[in-house]
């Protein structure tokens, strides 16, 4: 059996805004048992990056790999939706 593909995620957030703070918290909870790589991008600090990446809403989580790219907007409040979108195994 092959090793699970490398999970690369990017989370675009806006400073310490409530939805951004919640999203970071929710995401870290979801990912704690999975091997992953997470890039956190504060749009307030690097707005050009958001522009170039076509990100307009914060927070936005992007699964860069494995392909295809998946985008989830919002505070990632619904864990089941996020798991399904990222194709993570259901919570044990």
Partner 1 sequence: MDKTATGVPGLDEITNGGLPKGRLTLITGDAGAGKTVLAMQILVAGAAHFSEPGVFVSFEEHADEIATNFESFGWTLATAAEARSKVSKAGAVVVIDASLPPETINSGAFDVSGLLAAVSAAIAATSARRVVFDGIDMLLDQLDDPRDRRRELVRLREWTRSAGVTAIITAKASPAPSSPQDGSEFLKYLVSCVIALEWTRTTYGAERMLRALKVRGSSHSTSEHPAIIRADGFQIGAVGSVRIAYAAPTERVSSGMPRLDHVLGGGYFRGSSILISGAPGTAKSTLCGAFLDATCARGERGLFISFDEAFSQIERNLASVNIRLGRHVDSGLLATAGLRTGRVSSEELYYQVMDLIEAHDPKSIVIDPITAIDRASDGDLAGDVAERLIDQAKMRGATIVITSFLSREPSYLESTRSQISGIADTWLQLSFSVIGGERNRGLTVIKSRGNAHSNQVRELILSDRGLELADVYAQGGAILMGTARMEQELRDQADEALRRSETLEAEREIDEEEARLKLKLLELEMQLKALERRKAETAKNARASETRHAHQKRRILERRAPGERLDEVAKPS
Q: Which of 6, 25, 29, 51 binds partner 1 (CB under 8 A)?
A: 51
Q: Binding of partner 1 at residue 8 (CB under 8 A)?
A: no
> Quick one: CA dihedral 82, 70, 49, 8, positive or negative?
positive
Q: Binding of partner 1 at residue 4 (CB under 8 A)?
A: no
Q: Binding of partner 1 at residue 23 (CB under 8 A)?
A: yes
> How far is it, in rounded angstroms, from Cα 90 to Cα 88?
6
Q: Which of 52, 89, 90, 91 binds partner 1 (CB under 8 A)?
A: 52
What are the CA-CA distances from residue 71 to residues 1, 44, 62 (Å)? 28, 20, 5
> How far is it, in rounded angstroms, from Cα 92 to Cα 74?
24
Q: Which of 8, 64, 74, 88 binds partner 1 (CB under 8 A)?
A: 74
| Binding residues vs partner 1 (CB under 8 A) | 12-15, 17-20, 22-23, 26, 43-44, 47-48, 50-52, 54-60, 70-78, 81-82, 85
């Amino acid at each position: 059996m092959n090793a699970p593909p490398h999970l690369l995620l990017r989370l675009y957030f806006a400073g310490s805004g409530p939805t951004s703070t919640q999203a970071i918290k929710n995401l870290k909870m979801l990912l704690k048992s999975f091997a992953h790589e997470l890039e956190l991008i504060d749009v307030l600090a690097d707005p050009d990056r958001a522009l170039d990446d076509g990100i307009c809403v914060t927070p936005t989580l992007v699964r860069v790999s494995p392909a295809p790219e998946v985008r989830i907007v919002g505070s990632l409040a619904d864990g089941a939706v996020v798991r399904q979108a990222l194709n993570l195994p259901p919570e044990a």
